[in-house]
Amino acid sequence: MRRLRRLAHLVVFCPFSKGLQGRLPGLRLKSVFLVWLGILVGSWMVYLHYSSYSELCRGRVCQVVICDQYRKGIISGSICQDLCELHKVEWRTCLSSAPSQQVYSGLWQNKDVTIKCGIEEVLDSKAGPDAVPRRELVLFDKPTRGTSIKEFQEMTLSFLKANLGDLPSLPALVSQVLLMADFNKDSRVSLAEAKSVWALLQRNEFLLLLSLQEKEHASRLLGYCGDLYLTEGVPHGPWHVAALPPLLRPLLPPALQDTLQQWLGPAWPWRAKIAIGLLEFVEELFHGSYGTFYMCETTLANVGYTATYDFKMANLQQVAPEAAVRRFLQGRRCEHSADCTYGRDCRAPCDRLMRQCKGDLIQPNLAKVCELLRDYLLPGAPADLREELGTQLRTCTTLSGLASQVEAHHSLVLSHLKALLWKTISNTKYS
């Protein structure tokens, strides 16, 4: 009996064992193939990341180019010696989102700083990632030798008029440019100093920084060498962008950014304080000393703040003078309003009959900021405030860009919104 049972057991289970043994080589083959495929894909992703990173983060190229021009006597500036001779400017994390605009966090004189430098020339396709572009004949070509200080003043004034509009305050800004150029305070502006400050003025963000230096919500300019300049340290973002690889930052979808903001952002009262600062910044841009400015990329990525939760504009690259926007729109042919877009979201209506862009923007700064604040403030807002806050923000987003309507409603809506937020956080630790 026992023998029969053992035999039955072998009859039942032996075919299964043979089938399993027959399948084992196939399973092993599939496992090896999947591991090989994973290694191949992983290696390819690493290669793409580092090849793209080498294109995106080229701080070393910036420093080599600038210091080469400094040693040749072509440029100068307040930090040239520290940057090129004493090596006291420390480059840290790459924050660049485009190869042409190099941005790094850094350290200088025991202070956290942001280092900014432009690489605009297209390199030879056969050149290596550390190849140095030739910029001295392109970027540092003005003013030319023999230009008098009076002529330099006039060319600076003409440049500012073209970019900021014909404003009575511009002569004071020209004087500020000359004072900055004379960094060594020897009461004269050398050709190298003039070339450096002229190159800086060609950088849109630097021009904005210069125009908004007296405003508390723009980063303070600390020094420069040629067209490389330092500002105050990187303000905190709505969530820590620096934690991501530079290649991934511009690819992150806005919806995911909003979700991360809600998870990782500051507590609601701190957000209210940051929002008040953002509204004050909108006031500063509206009819300031050097004209009106438009925010042409209104995203949470540009909402920065200090360690004490005071708002700082994280990026001025997409803030544009009214004169520049109007010049872009003037006589521009269009089929629909999308053809009349400056930057990301400074959009004017299209006159379908004339097929030309109109001069007034569809949305003013405040309306776009209020759209942003709906997603920033309403989640987590106190229950007794949510309804009134939502109503005021909806009213704000309906503001038109027509000059007559902005003048009539802009200040009133903005002051009501600020008062509501201050009322909520005043007399608390958050104020």
The two tokens of residue 409 are 């409603």
pLDDT, tens only, 39-54: 755 555 544 444 445 6
CATH of region 238-427, choose from 1.10.1760, 1.10.510, 2.60.120, 3.30.420 = 1.10.510
Query: In 152-268, at which residue ranges do the beta strands (DSSP E only) sit?
Result: 221-225, 228-232
The full set of domain ranges for the chain reads: 58-119+143-232, 238-427
The two tokens of residue 347 are 């959009």
Backbone angles phi, psi at 52, to 5 degrees: -70, -40
The two tokens of residue 340 are 């009349």
pLDDT, tens only, 333-392: 999 989 999 988 899 999 999 999 998 898 899 999 999 999 889 988 999 999 999 999
What span, in angstroms and rounded, lies between the C-alpha atoms of 191 and 182?
Answer: 11
Residue 298 has what pLDDT? 85
Name the stretches of the chain with pLDDT < 50. 1-18, 20, 24, 46-52, 121-137, 239-243
Residue 243 has what pLDDT? 47
Burial of 36 (0-12, 13-18, 19+ CB in 10 A): exposed
Q: What pTM does this model have?
A: 0.77
Residue 33 has what pLDDT? 58
Q: Which residues contact 373 (CB under 8 A, 6 or more apart)?
A: 275, 278, 393
* Residues 122, 107, 83: CA angle, nearest 5 degrees: 55
Classify each residue of 238-247 as buried b or exposed e, where b means 16 or more C-beta atoms within 10 Å of its C-beta.
bbebeeeebb
Residue 420 has what pLDDT? 94
Residue 264 has what pLDDT? 67
